[in-house]
Amino acid sequence: MDAVQEAGPQNVEDFSGWQLSGAARPAGLMTIPGLLTLPTTAFYTYRMKRIAVIDGQGGGIGSMIIKALRDEYGERIELIALGTNSTATSAMMKARANKGATGENAIVWNSTRVDCIVGPLSIVLANGMLGELTGRMAEAIASSPARRYLLPVNQEGVEVVGLEKDPLPHLITKLLIRLKEDLHV
């Protein structure tokens, strides 16, 4: 095996964060039975999973989410705090997000550049969070190619029928379990 390959993914689960950067003049092929065939001179780079946490008002829900994610994953993930206002962004940055941005354009622009989006259900509702969340923000989040994890916190008078009403700490625990299953981080 090439030294380049040895630095690459070691098993099937490791492939989630590795991306093929380029391959020049393949010397041969490496086959993982039932999965894929790769040129042996391929170069791999690892890109951390980018998770956007979106919140508004005081940023309390977002900061709890970021704190839990940081405690669970440490520096293996990149957390981007996106607030509808500067107070929310500031609270999430204090919870140890890697980056932060505020406002409509920041949310619209970043929603297509992350692997997943996490926040309360109201982030996909136009005029949610007492009007802080614009229709353009809600559309960008709902249309994003990123996987969305929405916590059903009933703040907007929207009831999700058939859903158990769990307290926020229990919802965050369920979120961590789900992310662990989906992201393989």
Q: Strands of 147-151's sheet, edge to edge?
A: 99-102, 77-83, 49-55, 116-120, 147-151
For the segment 147-175, the average pLDDT, to the nearest whole number, is: 89
Confidence (pLDDT) at 38: 61
Residues 147 and 106 both lie in one domain: yes
Confidence (pLDDT) at 154: 75
Look at residue 164 and tell me whether its pLDDT is greater than 60: yes
The total domain count for the chain is 2
Q: Which of 34-48, 59-73, 91-105, 153-167 has the lowest mean pLDDT?
A: 34-48
**What's the pLDDT tens digit per position in 3-51?**
333 444 444 444 455 555 554 444 566 666 666 666 655 555 667 899 9
Residues 66 and 42 both lie in one domain: no
Confidence (pLDDT) at 135: 96
Residues 22 and 56 both lie in one domain: no
Confidence (pLDDT) at 17: 56
**What's the pLDDT tens digit per position in 113-124?**
999 999 999 999
Confidence (pLDDT) at 43: 56
Look at residue 66 and tell me whether its pLDDT is greater than 80: yes
Residues 56 and 19 both lie in one domain: no
DSSP the chain: --HHHHTS--SGGGGGTEEEEEE-S---EEEETTTEEEETTEEEEE--EEEEEEE-TT-HHHHHHHHHHHHHHTTSEEEEEEESSHHHHHHHHHTT-SEEEESHHHHHHHTTSSSEEEEEGGGGSTTTTTTTS-HHHHHHHHH-SSEEEEE----SS---TT-----HHHHHHHHHHHHHHHH--
Residues 21 and 91 both lie in one domain: no
**What's the pLDDT tens digit per position in 86-130?**
999 999 999 999 999 999 999 999 999 999 999 999 999 999 999
Residues 53 and 41 both lie in one domain: no
Residues 143 and 67 both lie in one domain: yes
Residues 113 and 147 both lie in one domain: yes
Residues 23 and 71 both lie in one domain: no
Confidence (pLDDT) at 184: 78
Residues 150 and 107 both lie in one domain: yes
**How confident is the prediction for the chain on average, in pLDDT?**
84
Q: Residue 84 maps to which CATH number?
A: 3.40.50
Look at residue 2 and tell me whether its pLDDT is greater than 50: no
Write out the residue range of the structural domain in which residue 103 sits: 49-183
